[in-house]
A and B are shown apart, each in its own frame.
Chain A
Amino acid sequence: MNQPHPHVSTQPVSAVRPPVTSVGPIGWIKQNLFSNWFNSLLTILTLYLLWKIVPPFLRWAFVDSRWYSDGAACREADGACWSVVGRNIRFMIFGFFPHDQQWRPLLAMLILVGLLFYSRNRKHWKKSLAYAWFAGLVIMGLMMQGGIFGLTEVESTQWGGLPLTLLLAVFGLTAAHPLGVLLALGRQSRMPAIKALSIAYIELIRGVPLISLLFMSSIVFPLFLPEGVTINKIVRAQVAMILFTAAYIAEVVRGGLQGMPKGQYEAAESLGLNYIQTMRLVILPQALKIVIPPTVSILISAFKDTSLVVIIALYDLLKTTQSMLTDPQWMGFSTEAYIFIALIYLICCFFMSNYSRRLERELNVSR
């Protein structure tokens, strides 16, 4: 009677362990690196390449490198000359901003970064944050421009380097996103005029390279302005970038809107919500969440595209570095300088994608 059924396992649950070859480091290596002959071949090839590349690079970058010497001493060494960055960092970062006033853009950047970091946390998204941003923007503008409170005035033609890059990027991206959403909604509008305008705008802008838009904003556009009226070159470049990025965001957002089930619109409408409420409270929160990954791709590439403003003679981070490298003393050390610039871009982009992933995770609680 007590005899168990032949198919019922009588082994205690904890006693059975998997064979050694499938767990632990050896198991992991076997499973992931040498699971078949092709995989093994790839593994060996990769190891060989790493062996060829990594040690010489480390040697160049850290062992044979110079950190504090001047250009002449650098030329005698085999390794990297990091002093090209160290000695010129102020010009690379701040461009032609007056030397004794450079604490001002630095402060502006610190405020910006501080605000960005503070805004990362969704718990901080309250009304006070909007005020903080507003106050921050005013202070930043004051710091850059000066002219009152005993601060010497600095013409925007002297702005440059990292502050200019960040300025173009942060304002470009924050303005382009809402504009893109409006365009996407316009493209779906039932009103033919709005729909046609949105489509024309989106297709036109997407059919033109950013460079030509920048040229137009700096050369063609002023021709249409009445005599005596000038618009700041940075503003013009900024507007061109916003208009450009918005068209791409619009298309991504449209994809998100089309992915929304019809039932969501119907449920919202049958509660009596009007169009704006339906969009704002029900449709957009869901649609924008779906398109976070492609949106962030656009924002990241827009961020990198800020370097194109060099063609209309704005001195962004890349341009200040380039012109520093024309100094005979430092000529030939472009590799080091560009690696440094690349690192700055990399850090910014890393934080953008990191933030987006975090946002996605936080918004995902509903699933």
Chain B
Amino acid sequence: MSQDNIIEMQNVHKWYGELHVLRDINLTVKKGERIVICGPSGSGKSTMIRCINRLEEHQRGKIIVDGIELTADLKNIEKIRTEVGMVFQHFNLFPHLTILENLTLGPIWVRKTPRAEAEEIAMHYLEKVHIADQARKYPGQLSGGQQQRVAIARSLCMKPKVMLFDEPTSALDPEMVKEVLDVMINLAREGMTMIVVSHEMGFARSVAHRVLFMDYGRILESNTPNEFFENPRHERLQLFISQILH
């Protein structure tokens, strides 16, 4: 494999019981590359990115992250998870911990960072997502948009090499979508490697190097944003784009 590939998926298949949800996925992501994935509901987008940090197990094929192949080996899985940040649709903040504690949990327990230093890092990222003044509050006291920004900061505190986003804005009220997207755009400007499941076309156009279209567990199309939206080749994609435009 090449040195600057951070993620390689080769002929990956996955089944839920009888249901074939990933069919022969091949995907290579270079360091610094930003990829947006879209596709109809149930097409396997979440499943695919969750395979990358082994929240789901693939049954066939190979997934290599940062030079380590994902197998049943727990040590490898934990190692990879520290390098791969994940942001969920429903934030999944820890409600019993303050914002600051949410952010320092990983660094202190996984990276073994001293508490004072971990808090410093946490405050740095909270400032980055414009929410430093809420550090002592609990997640339940924040709005959805604020919670999602905290979730992004929580992942960043682990200093990951890749960030995965699974529909980060689709559980948000419309007026909060922008504040989260702005944070993600800033992240992109700094050169973070990102894989984002999202139907935000504006976001895809402004930051993505490549946009993928998934359907029935396959990657049907992969192209630059411009080509992807202006000249969709696949019939399914043409239909899909006309639907999300209206």
B78 adjacent to A366 (CB under 8 Å): no
Q: Which of A154-162, A272-280, A318-326 contacts B (4 or more CB under 8 A)?
A: A272-280
Counted as pairs of residues, one from A and one from B, with CB atoms less than 8 Å apart, the total is 69
The answer to whether residues A282 and B94 also contact, given A272-B78, A272-B82 and a CB cut-off of 8 A, is yes
Proximity bits, A251-284, B CB within 8 Å = 1, else 0: 0000000000101101111111110010001100
A270's contact among B84, B93, B138, B139, by CB below 8 Å, is which? B84
Interface range, A side: 20 to 34
Contacts of A178 in B (CB 8 A): none
Q: Quick one: closest A residue to B140, CB to CB?
A: A367
Of the residues A266, A273, A286, A366, contact of B109 by C-beta under 8 Å: A273
Of chain A, the residue at the smallest CB distance from B109 is: A277
> A266 — nearest CB in chain B belongs to which residue?
B55
Q: Which residue of B lies closest to A267 (CB)?
A: B92
Interface residues in B50-100 (C-beta closer than 8 Å to A): 53, 55, 74, 78-79, 81-82, 84-86, 88, 90, 92-97
A366–B88 CB distance below 8 A: no
Measured between C-beta atoms, what is the minimum distance from A98 to chain B in Å?
Answer: 50
Which chain B residues border A26 with CB–CB below 8 Å? none
Nearest-CB distance from A67 to chain B (Å)? 52
Q: Say which residue of B78, B88, B138, B154 sits within 8 Å of A266 (CB atoms).
A: B88
Q: Is A114 an interface residue (CB 8 A)?
A: no
User: When A270-B84, A271-B110, A274-B78 are in contact, do A264 and B92 touch as well, CB less than 8 Å?
Assistant: yes
What is the interface size of chain B, counting residues whose CB is below 8 A from a CB of the partner?
29
In the complex, chain A residues whose CB is within 8 Å of the CB of B158: 271-272
User: Is the pair A270, B55 in contact by a Cβ cutoff of 8 Å?
Assistant: yes
Q: Are B88 and A267 in contact (CB under 8 A)?
A: yes
Bound-state Cα–Cα, A270 to B105, Å: 12
A264-B94 CB under 8 A given contacts A270-B81, A272-B158: yes
Q: Which of A272, A285, A286, A367 contacts B106 (CB 8 A)?
A: A272
Distance in Å from the Cβ of B6 to the closest Cβ of chain A?
A: 16
Query: Which secondary structure dominates chain A's binding surface?
Result: helix
Shortest C-beta distance, B89 to chain A (Å), equals: 9
A16 interface residue per 8 A CB criterion? no
Q: Is the CB of B92 within 8 A of A266?
A: yes
Do B106 and A273 touch (CB < 8 A)?
Answer: yes
Compute how far the CA of A99 lies from the CA of B53 in the bound complex, rounded to whole angstroms: 69
Q: How far is the CA of A365 from the CA of B139 in the complex (A)?
A: 11
Residues 24-48 of chain A, each 1 if its beta carbon lies under 8 Å from chain B, else 0: 0000000000000000000000000
A90 proximal to B (CB < 8 A): no
- Mostly, the B contact residues are mixed
Residues of chain B lying within 8 A (CB to CB) of residue A289: 96
Within 8 A of B (CB), among A139-165: none
List B contacts of A277 (CB < 8 A): 109-110
Q: How distant is the Cα of A282 from the Cα of B102 in the complex, in angstroms?
A: 10
- A343-367 CB mask vs B (1 if < 8 Å, else 0) is 0000000000000000000010111
Q: How far is the CA of A56 from the CA of B238 in the complex (A)?
A: 89
Cβ–Cβ < 8 Å partners of A264 in chain B: 92, 94
Known: A263-B92, A366-B96. A269 touches B109 (CB 8 A): no
User: Which residue from A270, A273, A365 sits with its C-beta under 8 Å from B86?
Assistant: A270
Known A-B contacts A263-B88, A281-B105, A281-B109; A272 and B94 likewise in contact (beta carbons under 8 Å): no
Chain A residues near B139 (CB, 8 Å)?
Answer: 366
* Complex Cα–Cα for A367 and B97 (A): 11
A286/B55 in contact, CB under 8 A: no
A144 to B90, alpha carbons, bound, how many Å? 56
On chain A, the residues within 8 Å of B96 by CB distance are 285-286, 289, 363, 366
Q: A269-B55, A282-B94 are in contact. Are A365 and B110 (CB under 8 A)?
A: no
Q: Which of A269, A281, A285, A366 contacts B81 (CB 8 A)?
A: A269
Q: Which partner residue on chain B sits nearest A270 by CB separation?
A: B86
- On chain A, the residues within 8 Å of B138 by CB distance are 365-367
CB distance from B115 to the nearest CB of A (A): 14
B121 nearest CB across to chain A (Å)? 14
Q: Which chain B residues border A282 with CB–CB below 8 Å?
A: 94, 105
Most central of A263, A267, A270, A286 by chain B CB within 10 Å: A270
Instruction: Name the residue on A nearest B75 (C-beta).
Output: A274
22 contacts between A and B (CB under 8 A): A263-B88, A264-B94, A267-B86, A267-B92, A268-B94, A269-B55, A269-B81, A270-B155, A271-B81, A271-B110, A272-B79, A272-B81, A273-B106, A277-B109, A277-B110, A281-B109, A286-B96, A363-B96, A366-B96, A366-B97, A366-B139, A366-B140
**Contacts beyond the supplied A266-B55, A266-B86, A269-B55: 9 A-B pairs with Cβ under 8 Å:** A263-B92, A264-B94, A270-B84, A271-B82, A272-B79, A272-B110, A363-B96, A366-B139, A367-B138
- Nearest 8 pairs between A and B by C-beta? A267-B92, A272-B82, A271-B106, A263-B92, A270-B86, A366-B138, A272-B81, A272-B110
Residues of A within 8 A of B (CB): 261, 263-264, 266-274, 277, 281-282, 285-286, 289, 363, 365-367
